[in-house]
Amino acid sequence: MNKETYKLELEPVSVENGNEDQTVLLEKAKKSNGMIPNMYQNMVNLPGLQDTYDIGYEHFRRGSGFSPVEQEVVFITLSIENSCDYCTAAHSFIADKISKVPTEITDAIREGQEIPDAKLKALSEFSKIMFETRGNPTKVQAKAFMEAGYTEKNILGIILALSVKTISNYSNHLFHTEVDDAFSSRKVK
């Protein structure tokens, strides 16, 4: 993180010092994650931001049409494109421990190397295209994505992932969020 960038001075919120809206969201995070990640303690300063993130994240996980492995490919790719070390570490950890993404795929995405799976490579590449073009892929790019085995609904799923990652990645930039100990094995070096 560039130390020249602006850092919000808002303090992290805890269950002990949060208001009712914040506490409900933090308790929900603890129930679903087994912990309250640093990112959540920061974003919940504006409960609507945290709630919008939570809703979008849940919809992406349940309704994007992507498998858990594919979901992490999208999230890691977008987190790297947004230069968010926090989410890159967190989603790499989730990829390894929960979604069971082969490490060589996660590492290839993180290191900007060739992804050793044609379909996942197409997914990562198209996620980058959607990011870089601000949702304006060419007909050729969209056709190549769909020829790799994806659908137009999957394109909408990437838009949802972009929305969720914009919320978390930008918040993490502004807070200079420290990577939680739980995700430290996948910190960006």
pLDDT tens digits in sequence order for the chain, 189 residues long? 556 899 999 999 999 999 999 999 999 999 999 999 999 999 999 999 999 999 999 999 999 999 999 999 999 999 999 999 999 999 999 999 999 999 999 999 999 999 999 999 999 999 999 999 999 999 999 999 999 999 999 999 999 999 999 999 999 999 999 999 999 999 998
Distance of alpha carbon 128 from alpha carbon 69, whole angstroms: 17
Task: Judge whether 147 lies within some domain.
Answer: yes
Task: Judge whether 158 lies within some domain.
Answer: yes
Task: Judge whether 12 lies within some domain.
Answer: no
Residue 124 belongs to domain with CATH number: 1.20.1290.10
C-alpha pair distances (Å), 161 with each of 40, 55, 74, 88, 189: 17, 12, 7, 14, 24
Task: Judge whether 29 lies within some domain.
Answer: no
Rg (CA), the chain: 17
Distance of alpha carbon 76 from alpha carbon 3, whole angstroms: 23
Q: What is the pLDDT of residue 3?
A: 63
What does pTM read for this prediction? 0.95
| DSSP assignment of 52-93 | HHHHHHHHHHHHSS--HHHHHHHHHHHHHHTT-HHHHHHHHH
Task: Judge whether 84 lies within some domain.
Answer: yes
Task: Judge whether 61 lies within some domain.
Answer: no
Asked if 74 and 61 touch (Cβ cutoff 8 Å), the reply is: no
Total domains, the chain: 1
Give the domain extent around 79.
67-186
CA atoms within 13 A on the CB side of 142: 13
Task: Judge whether 31 lies within some domain.
Answer: no
C-alpha pair distances (Å), 156 with each of 60, 64, 134, 142, 159: 10, 8, 13, 12, 5
DSSP 45: T
Task: Judge whether 87 lies within some domain.
Answer: yes
Q: What is the pLDDT of residue 114?
A: 97
